[in-house]
Structure 1
Amino acid sequence: MGSSRDPTEETIRLATMTTHPAITLGISGYRAVIEPDRFVPGSYQLVVDGTPQSHVNLDDPAQLHFEYIQRIGHVIDELREPGTPITAVHLGAGALTLPRYIAETRPNSRQQVLELETDLVPFVREHLPLPARANIKVRYGDARESLAKLPAGLFGTADIVVVDIFAGSRTPAHVTSQEFYAQAAKLLSPDGILAINIADGPGLAFARGQAATVASVLPHVAAMAEAQVLKGRRFGNVVLVASAHPLPLDYIPRLLAGGPHPAQAVHGAALAEFTRSAPIVTDQTAVPSPPPNRSVFLAK
């Protein structure tokens, strides 16, 4: 599905442009911009409604930049034997950073992407072309509604389902509920992993509720984040990993050892304490994730 344009030529083309490629997305009306990374040659950032959503290195798709993406990348690395193909479903496209990563590190993997904005992926593919041999299929529509329309043969086969859904800087309410996670979990193989990116601020009320909700669907859950974020002291990203199958005892230490540092995780009894008194979110009680202060992104 990838463009035949050479990534090196595309790097040079974007670097010499006086204005950054931009588009007004047809469904949300948000402005999406692709900006070159001033510090990493060959790298670009997708910014939607002022929020950095993806970072891509065209010259090295195996390089992951954002902290939470690196943590999910470590989870992907632990799946099956290194380099072997996997089946992955991505809810939310962005600039297709993780699909590129899987295509690079696990060739011949089967990947399905669900994206609401019908003009986002074509825009990304034009300016940040995919590897020509990447087996990445894209379906358009609301992630929750589109789950039911996926091929029947995909259910029960996914090694990993990545939930990274944002409308601008916030996760919509209808993809935060117990009913939604139960639907997404049906895609997983018996030992498959559900990986969820959650953005939250001091106190982590939203993240704690999400952890409790996911744990009500899949019994084995861990939460990982930068230490100060997980302590609820500042806004940031928390990655939840969940499975119907027990996580190996050495799973979490290996993930944390991969960085970024300092990192912490809660699981088992610590997760039960983390989610204590946090309500399970249903369709009737779901709310969007909290909005970040714009200074969070300006400081990056």
Structure 2
Amino acid sequence: MAERNDAPAAVGDPTTSDPGPDFGPALVPVTREVDCGTAKLLPDVDRPRAALLTVDGAPQSYVDLDEPTYLEFEYARRIGHVLDAVAEPGRPLDALHLGGGALALPRYLGATRPGSRQQVVEADRGLLDLVREHLPLPPDSGISVRAADARAALESAPEAAADIVVADVFGGSRVPAHLTSAEYARAAGRALRPGGCYVANLADSAPFTFLRGQLANYAAVFARLCLIAEPAVLRGRRFGNAVLVASQEELPLPEIARRVAADAFPARVEHGPRLRQLIGDAQPVRDEDAVPSPEPPAGAFSVG
């Protein structure tokens, strides 16, 4: 589930990005019933090899097969900025992606950091079949995809095996409750190597009851946190996405801040005292108390 904007904006270092091969003819519209609803692939009139993926009208992913470094959604570009900043340019990473969609972020990481080993977990088998058929991965991409529950996959992942865990899991337009607890946050910490990063796409609005609980979860597990969001969202003026970044070691905050501020839709990075102020008296959320992220207001993310 994502913000949609009309301004083209790619991220990444062009000296290390690979535009990828041409897979063939222009894409065509597709509508199919998948496990979690009605999925649609809507080709972009300006990009013949690009399409928007929606499920029940909610935007899930956008992919340009010929330009995998192009990220259409604002939140995806912010995650892309983090992926660019967490290691020296071009260095391969071992990544675990929870939530697949059309595989926009795995494609991006594979293009900007060739040789990366990536595992993608997506619960919706029907959606995976649709993406494999109409938005295939390039040969030798280093990306493996499997159908499984995100939490089960995270808890069974090898300990300290991932450089980065990216969580972009939405059931329709909400993060499922079993992915919002402190126990889930501890599983994320166990899967990461020393210095590794957990990155999550979340969504909320003032008074940020859900988001504050999520921050409390990760503050109890990780030594360093930051939150990336549009200023209007942070000021409580509208519902929107917020990208959480967590690590046991220092985050490259100046580089992340520089990149997100230079984006076509600038964002702000909250950390340190300002982030602690946002958390306030929020406590970690136990499994038995966990709830899904809030329902977006009507029209917040839907596509006609």
TM-score scaled by length of structure 1? 0.89
Contact conserved, 1:113 with 1:139, CA < 8 A, in 2?
yes
Matches within 5 A, 1:174-189: 174-189=178-193
Give the structure 1 partner of residue 150 of structure 2: 143
Distance 1:192 1:148 in 2: 17
How far apart are the structure 1 equivalents of 2:147 and 2:24? 29
Partners of 2:253 and 2:166 lie apart in 1 by 22
Residues 14-29 of structure 1 aligned to structure 2 (within 5 Å): 14=27, 17=28, 20-26=29-35, 28=36
Farther off after superposition, 101-110 or 30-39? 30-39
Pair 1:76–1:252, CA change in 2 (3 A) = closer
How far apart, CA to CA, are the structure 1 residues paired with 2:57 and 2:34?
A: 13
Cα shift at 1:38: 2.9
Report what 1:9 is aligned to.
24
The amino acid across from 1:180 in the alignment is Y
1:22 partner amino acid: T
Give the aligned residue type for 2:24: E
Distance 1:249 1:95, change over 3 A: closer
Show structure 1 runs of 5+ residues with no match.
1-5
How far apart are the structure 2 equivalents of 1:287 and 1:298? Answer: 22
Q: 1: CA distance between counterparts of 2:215 and 2:259?
A: 18
1:88 to 89, 95, 98: 95
Query: SS of 1:288's equivalent?
Result: coil
Letter paired with 1:97: A
Distance 1:25 1:42 in 2: 22
**Structure 1 pair 101/211, CA: closer, same or farther in 2 (3 Å)?**
same
2:167 aligned with 1:163: yes
Superposition RMSD in Å: 1.8
Q: For residue 224 of structure 1, what is the aligned residue in structure 2?
A: 228
CA–CA separation in structure 1 for the residues paired with 2:155 and 2:224: 24
In 2, are the aligned partners of 1:226 and 1:260 still within 8 Å (CA)? no
| Counterpart code for 2:104 | T
Distance 2:216 2:132 in 1: 37
Preserved contact between residue 223 and residue 248 of structure 2 (Cα < 8 Å): yes
Q: 1:98-109 maps to which residues of 2 (within 5 A)?
A: 98-109=105-116
Moved more, 236-245 or 123-132: 123-132
Amino acid at match of 1:9: G
**Percent of pairs with identical residues:** 46
CA shift for structure 1 position 183? 0.4
Q: CA deviation at 1:118?
A: 1.5
2:242 aligned to 233, 238, 243, which one?
A: 238
Instruction: Report Cα offsets for 1:259-288 as digits up to 9, x if no partner.
Output: 243321210111100110223211021111
Deviations 1:135-159 (A, max 9, x none): 1112221111122333x3xx31312
- CA deviations 1:155-182 (Å, max 9, x no partner) are 3131210011100111110100000011
Q: Which runs of 5+ in 2 are unaligned?
A: 1-20
Per-residue Cα deviation, 1:203-237 (whole angstroms, up to 9, x for no partner): 22211221121111112000011110111210110
What is the alpha-carbon distance in structure 1 between the residues aligned to residue 252 and residue 65 of structure 2?
Answer: 34
> Which residue in the other structure is 1:3 paired with?
none
Q: Could you tell me how far 1:125 is from its partner in structure 2?
A: 1.6
Query: How far is the alpha carbon of 1:256 from its aligned partner?
Result: 2.6
Counterpart CA distance in 2 for 1:260 and 1:213 is: 31
